[in-house]
């Protein structure tokens, strides 16, 4: 039987993390093919509801990635986002969602390799956790 492949949704900000993902590709750095990317202008665009919907839909994991502190194309979008993410992550783990399911990263436009590392790590973490069950809605 084929190895189980988790599906992970990745929200990437246009100016840094999405560019970092492109750079990983341009540099032909290989990483697991498990992410599905939604491009957003800024990590500040991410409403925690998006992440919850991904979990309910059955994604095995969610990654949200933005610009490093100070690099935000929109000055402070990632700072505002960081507070939301901190609360979301704390609450999710508190109710018993496994810590690896929802992860956050800062990846700059120059960090192709870091992007690949982040995706590898997140994918490995989620493979270890197995398919998502908690919060998944059976339609």
Partner 1 sequence: MDNIEKELRTVIAKLFEEKKIDLVIGYTKGTLPLVSTPIFLKEEKDVDKLIFDVSCGNNLVKYLKRHRIVNMKDTKVAIIAKGCDGRAIVQYIAEGQIKRDDVLIIGVPCEGVVDPKKIRSKTNGKEVSQYRIEDKKIILKGNDFEISLNKSDVLSDFCLRCRYPNAPLYDIFITEPTKSVGTKDEYEKVNEFEKLTSSQRWQYFENEMSKCLRCYACRNACPMCYCEDCFVDQSNPQWFGKGTDLSDTIIFHIVRVIHTAGRCVDCGACARACPVNIELDLLNTKAGKEIQERFGYTPGLDPDETPAMAAYDAEDKQEFIL
Partner 2 sequence: MSNNSSNKSVLVVGAGIAGIQAALDSAELGADVHLIERTPSIGGRMPQLDKTFPTNDCSICILAPKMTECARHPGITLHIYSSLLSVTGEPGDFQCTIKEHARYVDPEKCVSCGLCEEKCPVKIVDEFDMELRQRKVIHRYFLQSIPSSYVIDSTRCLYFTKGVCRLCEKACAADAIDFDDKDKIITLNCGAVILASGIDPHNPIGYGQYGYKRFKNVVTSLEFERMLSASGPQRGHIVRPSDTEEPKRIAFIQCVGSRDIEKKNDYCSSVCCMYAIKQAIIAKEHIKKTEPTIFFIDIRAFGKDFDKYYERAKSQFGVQFTRARVAEIKQDNGDDLRLSFTSEYGKRESEVFDLVVLSVGLEPRKAMKEIQDIIDIKFDEYGFCRTEPFEPLNTTRPGIFVCGAASGPKDIPESVMSASGAVADCAEFLALKRQEKVSKKVFPEEKDTIGDRPRIGAFICHCGTNIAGVVDVNNVVEFAKTLPNVEHAQDIMYACSQDSLDIIKENIKEHNLNRILVAACTPRTHEPLFRETLREAGLNQYLFEMANIRDQCSWAHMNEPELATEKAKDLVEMGVAKARNLFPLKGLPVEINPKALVIGGGLAGMIASLAIADVGYEVYLLEKKKELGGNLRNIYNTLGDKDPQEFLRDTIKKLKDNKLITIFKNVDLLNIDGYIGNYKTAFTEENGKSKKEIEHGIVIVATGAEESKPDEYLYGKHKRVTTQIEFEKKIADLPRYKTIVMIQCVGSREGERLYCSRVCCGQAIKNALLIKKSHPNTEIYILYRDIRTYGLMEKYYSQARDNGIIFMRYDLEHKPQVEPLGKDNINGSLKIATFDLLLNKKVTIEAELLVLSTAIDAPQANKELAKMLKVPLNKEAFFLEAHMKLRPVDFATDGVFMCGLAHCPKNIDESIIQAKAAAARALTILTKKIIEAEGTISWVSPERCTACGVCVKVCAYSAVELKEKTIAPKITRMVAEINEALCKGCGVCAASCRSGAINLRGFTDDQIYEALSAVRI
Shortest distance in whole angstroms from residue 125 CB to partner 2:
18
CA distances from 25 to 11, 33, 42, 72, 111 (A): 17, 12, 21, 22, 11
**3-state class of 48 per DSSP?**
helix
Cα dihedral 19, 20, 25, 26 sign: positive
* Residue 1 near which of partner 2, partner 1, none (CB within 5-8 Å, type-dependent): none
Which residue's entry shows tokens 């665009």? 45
Binding site for partner 2 (CB under 8 A): 5, 7, 9, 14-16, 18-19, 21-42, 44-47, 50, 53-54, 57-59, 67-68, 70-71, 73-77, 80-81, 84, 108-114, 116
Binding site for partner 1 (CB under 8 A): 48-49, 52-53, 56, 69-70, 76, 79-80, 82-99, 103-106, 118, 121-122, 134-137
């Amino acid at each position: 039987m084929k190895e189980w492949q988790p599906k992970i949704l990745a929200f990437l900000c246009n100016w840094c993390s999405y560019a970092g993902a492109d750079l990983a590709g341009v540099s032909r750095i290989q990483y697991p093919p498990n992410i599905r990317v939604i491009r957003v202008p800024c990590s500040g665009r991410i409403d925690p509801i998006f992440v919850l919907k991904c979990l309910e839909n059955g994604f095995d994991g969610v990654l949200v990635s933005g610009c490093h502190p100070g690099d935000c194309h929109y000055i402070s979008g990632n700072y505002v986002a960081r507070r939301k993410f901190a609360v979301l992550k704390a609450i999710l783990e508190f109710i018993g969602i496994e810590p690896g399911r929802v992860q956050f990263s800062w990846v700059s436009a120059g960090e192709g390799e870091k992007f690949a590392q982040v995706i590898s790590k997140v994918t490995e973490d989620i493979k270890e956790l197995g398919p998502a069950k908690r919060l998944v809605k059976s339609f």
